[in-house]
Amino acid sequence: MTQPYPVSCTIFSPFRRLSIGSRKSQLALVQTYWVQEQLQKRFPDVSFEVHTMSTEGDKILDVALAKIGDKGLFTKELELGMLNQEIDFAVHSLKDLPTCLPEGLTLAAVTERENPADALVVHEKHKDNQIDTLPEGSVIGTSSLRRLAQLRHHFPHLTFKDVRGNLNTRLSKLDAGEYDALILAVAGLQRLGMGERIHQVLPTEISLYAVGQGALGIECRADDVEVLSVLQAIEHTSTRDRVLAERAFLRELEGGCQVPIGVHTQLNEDKLTLTGLVASLDGKRLVKDTVTGAAKEAERLGIQLAQNLRQQGAQEILEEIFKTVQRN
């Protein structure tokens, strides 16, 4: 994370324009237009223009994410755009942004987090059920190995099936009866005005969320002091502390989309509590622990938790997963 730059030190030329990079998906655009609006309010003399790009993850919709790799699936094209001076900064769902960024780029700001939890969305015929009362064999759609492993651990009697596509596509498949339920992010549903589809917010005892889930990460060139100072205007300090701990935890474990890693963070004044989990792909083994410390030492806490889990058996789980991925 970059150090804050005083916004007041920024001097803009008249009619200065800054270009914002975004994926083309409906959710990505809603998030990007929100960032655009927030910046426009704070800098009325600057023109913030949105430029859209298609990423590899947007183009490959018939293959499970875990089978096509996880390094920059939804960010690489946007990052190239920044490095090539085509755009000034990019808005990402922070959970999609790798913990190790390309040389020359930095995570400039993190916005206030929405509810990071996972949600159960059900077919009409299951409106009287919760996750723990769904009938045996019910087909649950998810494209996340993190969600899959945790749900397999708690509900081995359910059937799980991969689901890809944008939110409307997934919900259409659910409503058509292809699935009995879906597991989706609460934040995404709420941002798209679909909060009424949330049937149950899954408790952390069932599903720890993805690193950075619910927050937006804004990436820019590391040497662009002017843009860095602008983006600091929408930085949310407590969210930053939480996600710095989470991202340090993930980075220390060298995990990504192909590894079932979940987190939960709480901030009480200046005390940060971080819970993390590593699970086997089949959900039969699950290692979980919690650390607490000063928020200003967020990254150290993330590293400490990762080391704790390695000592408790996470290392063996990770090695088995990496071998499985290499074979496939």
Q: Can you tell me the distance from the alpha carbon of 299 to that of 23, in angstroms, rounded to the nearest whole number?
A: 29
Tokens 């060139």 sit on residue:
221
* Residues present in the chain in total: 328
Which residue among 70, 96, 241, 289 is the active-site one?
Answer: 96
Closest listed residue to residue 122, CA positions, set 184, 158, 174, 161: 174
- Residue 108, SS3 per DSSP: strand
Retrieve residue 12's tokens.
Answer: 């803009």
Longest dimension (CA), the chain: 64
In contact, 274 and 260? CB cutoff 8 Å: no
| Sheet arrangement for strand 47-53 | 47-53, 17-23, 89-93, 216-221, 105-110
Q: Can you tell me the distance from the alpha carbon of 230 to that of 94, in angstroms, rounded to the nearest whole number?
A: 19
- Residue 161, SS3 per DSSP: strand
In contact, 192 and 73? CB cutoff 8 Å: no
Helix 167-175 and helix 26-42, axial crossing angle in degrees, nearest 10? 140
Retrieve residue 31's tokens.
Answer: 């998030």
Active site (annotated) includes residue 96: yes
Q: Give the ranges where the chain is alpha helix by DSSP (H).
A: 26-42, 56-59, 76-83, 145-154, 167-175, 186-191, 225-231, 237-253, 298-309, 315-327
Q: Hey, which residues are catalytic here?
A: 96
